[in-house]
Structure 1
Amino acid sequence: MAEKTEEPRSFEKTRTSETVLQRITALRAPRKLLGLELSLLLLAIAVGIAAVVIVEFTVVGGPTTTLLAPGILFVAALIGLHITVRRVAPDADPLIIPLAAFLNVIGIAMIYRIDLAEAKTGWAADSTRQLVWSSIALVAAIVVLLVVRNHMKLFRYTYLTGLAAVVLLLLPMLPGIGRTINGARVWIGIGSFSFQPGEIAKILLAIFFAGYLVQSRDSLAMVGKKILGIRFPRARDLGPLLVFWLAAMSVLVFQRDLGTSLLYFGLFLSMLYLATGRAGWVILGVGLFLAGGIIASQTLSYVGVRFTNWLDPFADPQGGSYQMVQGLFGLANGGMTGTGLGQGYPEDTPLATSDYIIPSLGEELGLIGLFVVLAAYLLLIGRGLRIGFAGNDDFGKLLGAGLAFTIALQVFIVVGGVTRVIPLTGLTAPFLAAGGSSLVSNWIIIALLVLLSNSVRNRPKLVIRS
């Protein structure tokens, strides 16, 4: 009779030996896949270099050395990240870093194209700052890989990360360091340096939600009343939902940022559903946020303007909805195949390198180019969710899925806003848009997903003896 060794504690006892073996075989990849990661990473770098060269030939008639120094720094940081992964997480998913790098370099090429159109040079050029911030973000990802190593370390600091997230969210409200940019008070500034602490707070919130829900899942999943076939939670269990709804509304009211409030609350709802499996939480949460948004649109002028521009942007095309109208015309001008890099007019749209980089890409790369970009996002999010669903432990599962949902929600909010699916909110596309805060936070998310994927693939094999 076959005798099997004791299963690791992280495995569910109800799983059969055959199922466990199949799952391990499907997930465990040989370390030679790191060669695949390097090949794909070099391909992404080559695509970025080619895009920059095409832009230079199209706009200025030949190659320049404008981005040479920061570009070398960026490539060196990417290779450094790959080497760190080889040492720290050799069994990590080989697609995550190349996908993020591809999105990063496409964004840099588009930002550089707009800089050339606006005659920006040196540190005043968004593309130069983007390359430097990308290098800083990659160094931050390397530090996370070296310091954390095992994601279960983060579980020990569940409530500390929650407290740190609250502190970061409150920083922009402090006098002296708080900054209001484009109508939203979500920045802190010291001299000429500015940073958006909420970008780091979203990672800390994902860690806190994962740890809190692991500890409190049983009470949150208790049986409630069944209405129209859907089981809703009891009134006594609604405390966490109401607390984070109030927190999201506070961000909307005091920091004047609809996108950030939607991101935080959407992250909490998605992780709450994954932890409990109850659709009632989602229905109640969405209903609460919609009610809060409608009330805000009627009582807060800046929210009302966004709703008005969303419902009828052509009512004031030269005024409040000028940006949205220009973005729509840019997308229409791009058509299926685009005008070609350097041959459109994306610079005519305000904030074309940040909030509206998706229409900028759509104009010059066309619908096909946007499909490629969205496919890269979809693959990246899919790998993150796969890591989450196959995690060794409940905390790792929720954290992996939560980090993937963080990127997914940002993409939905950004693309939905510029295409009028939802009101425009002001968030930036991950890895693509200009902005140092966003780059640092999203590359840290990539580092955490790499660590989680390594723990999944590095799961001890089940030994069966005859």
Structure 2
Amino acid sequence: MTSLIVELSKFVFILFIAMYTFLSFSVLRKKNQEEINHGWRVQNLLTVLIQVLACVVLLAQTEQEGQEKLLLFFLFQIVLLQAAVFFTRVLYPGVSRLVLNHMCFLMAVGFIMLTRLSYDKAVRQFQIAAVALALSMLIPVLIRKGAFLQKMSWFYGIAGLLLLVAVSFFGKTTSGAKLAIVLGSFSFQPSEFVKISFVLFAAARLVRSTEFRELLATTVMAGIHVLVLVVSRDLGGALLFFTAYLVIFYVATKKPLYFLGGLGAGCGAAFAGYHLFSHVRVRVLAWTDPFSVIDKEGYQITQSLFAVGTGHWLGMGLNQGMPGKIPVVEQDFIFSAISEEFGGIFAICLILICMSCFIMFINIAMQIKNVFYKYTALGLGILYGFQVFLTVGGAIRFIPSTGVTLPLVSYGGSSLTASIMMFAIIQGMYLLKEDEAIQSEKERAAKSKIRKNRKKQIGKKS
């Protein structure tokens, strides 16, 4: 009976995520608001159904004494995500339902996979998510009403830099890189939050002025951020910071020469990093020819490739694969675990959902009139999209592994909290965009009324 449940669930999981993904793009083409709202409700229902199905499948494969604990945990997961949807809509009726649904869906997939991999880590992730979601409710109103945020450019830059310097001195070394500060049982990865402050710094400075002297000062501060990350050997983080700044810088200055110069500097830095850091050479070796060093440097990536290949299109079934053979699977290679047990179709749909998030971020950046928030939304969108690319690309050996997490899905309290904050900031900008649209409509109506009154006055005079 258990085998039948697992086998049938593979097809149902794919059906649910395919329907969810289809709605992510098809609903945007609809004009009728009732049809659009219906699409959002169906997406929300599909998220719950995937959680319920995962619970049923795992319960069927769990000893009786652990079933009650597992059932309660999945119930708490469903309640948490539905509460996030409900309270966000109550507090901010005009939020982007697509961004909200995607955030909850990606977290649901992460909870499911983590529960299957490590129950204790899943509980820890859940606790952090509950606190982060509650605190994030304050962020949209802060973005919507916080005109002062644009005036704090150097605060963002200096505060972020101090956090990164603290990691370089006091951080714990993991896989050759200093990533986190450990205080007892508490681990904190500052670079996840500095990503946000870094984008705010770049946006605020580039809005203020694009004169050469100002650009030089801004670029020097940004370069120091990247340099400190390089010294800490957090090269994945350095790559994210560099890419986000380069894109914001180009959009602000509109000078291709600067962009090409930045690309050249980035290539030079990558070349230097390869020769300076042994763990970078190890990752490049594991990428170029992993099977020649399968017992050492290439073990992680080869296990990832075995997992992806074993899953084929339909997957092995939840709890039927061997993702635990991949080192650090809960963080860097959770996409491989998902591909193995849920299948290639499910994994492709997950990538499309992440792409939909990226498109929404960029769309908001294009439509919002406030230039500071425009650059901020653009920077956050680049950070999110590029991080997904690095994670997925590293897992399937498209690029060398960089050690970054899949936002909202991978295990890691700092990564999860920073990702939730990022989505909340985007929601605040979406509300601000709606406010701008309403204000523009009022101004057009007022101007139209004035023109009509003038015509009436001219008519009376004639």
Tell me if TM exceeds 0.5.
Answer: yes
Note if contact 2:30-2:36 (Cα within 8 Å) is conserved in structure 1.
no
Q: Which residue of 1 aligns with 2:139?
A: 144
Q: Is 2:189 the partner of 1:196?
A: yes
Q: Which residue of 2 aligns with 1:401?
A: 378
CA distance 1:36–1:192, change in 2 (3 Å):
same
Note if contact 2:144-2:432 (Cα within 8 Å) is conserved in structure 1.
no
Q: Is 2:179 the partner of 1:186?
A: yes
Note if contact 1:59-1:342 (Cα within 8 Å) is conserved in structure 2.
no
Q: Is 2:128 the partner of 1:133?
A: yes
Note if contact 1:338-1:364 (Cα within 8 Å) is conserved in structure 2.
yes
Note if contact 1:207-1:399 (Cα within 8 Å) is conserved in structure 2.
yes
Match of 2:108 among 95, 105, 108: 105
Measured in 2, the distance between the counterparts of 1:155 and 1:28 equals 35
SS in 2 for 1:458: helix
Match of 2:361 among 374, 384, 399: 384
Q: Is 2:227 the partner of 1:249?
A: yes
Q: Is 2:266 the partner of 1:289?
A: yes
Measured in 2, the distance between the counterparts of 1:365 and 1:354 equals 17
Structure 2: which 5+ runs fail to align?
Answer: 1-28, 453-462
- The letter of the residue matching 2:161 is V
Note if contact 1:183-1:256 (Cα within 8 Å) is conserved in structure 2.
yes
RCO comparison, higher one (Cα < 8 Å, 6+): 1
SS in 2 for 1:95: helix
> Which protein has the bigger helix share?
2
SS in 1 for 2:343: helix
- The alpha-carbon deviation at position 136 of structure 1 amounts to 2.0
- Deviation sequence 1:35-68 (CA, Å, 0-9, x none): 8656533432332232232233246589823345
Match of 2:205 among 202, 209, 212: 212
CA distance 1:184–1:443, change in 2 (3 Å):
same
Percent identity at matched positions?
A: 27
Q: Tell me the TM-score normalized by structure 2.
A: 0.82
Question: What is the aligned length?
Answer: 415
Measured in 2, the distance between the counterparts of 1:95 and 1:58 equals 34
Q: Is 2:390 the partner of 1:413?
A: yes
Q: Which residue of 2 aligns with 1:223?
A: none
Note if contact 1:339-1:366 (Cα within 8 Å) is conserved in structure 2.
yes
Measured in 1, the distance between the counterparts of 2:373 and 2:354 equals 21
CA distance 1:237–1:143, change in 2 (3 Å):
closer
Q: Which residue of 2 aligns with 1:356?
A: 333
Measured in 2, the distance between the counterparts of 1:32 and 1:155 equals 38
Q: Which residue of 1 aligns with 2:408?
A: 431
Measured in 2, the distance between the counterparts of 1:241 and 1:158 equals 13
CA distance 1:378–1:187, change in 2 (3 Å):
same
- The letter of the residue matching 1:85 is T
- Deviation sequence 1:425-460 (CA, Å, 0-9, x none): 110100110111111000001111111111112221
Q: Is 2:40 the partner of 1:47?
A: no
**Aligned CA-pair RMSD:** 2.8
Match of 1:86 among 89, 107, 113: 89
- The letter of the residue matching 1:139 is A
- The letter of the residue matching 2:352 is A
Measured in 1, the distance between the counterparts of 2:32 and 2:228 equals 45
Q: Which residue of 2 aligns with 1:165?
A: 160
- Deviation sequence 1:271-295 (CA, Å, 0-9, x none): 1122223333332222212211111
Q: Is 2:370 the partner of 1:367?
A: no
SS in 1 for 2:137: helix
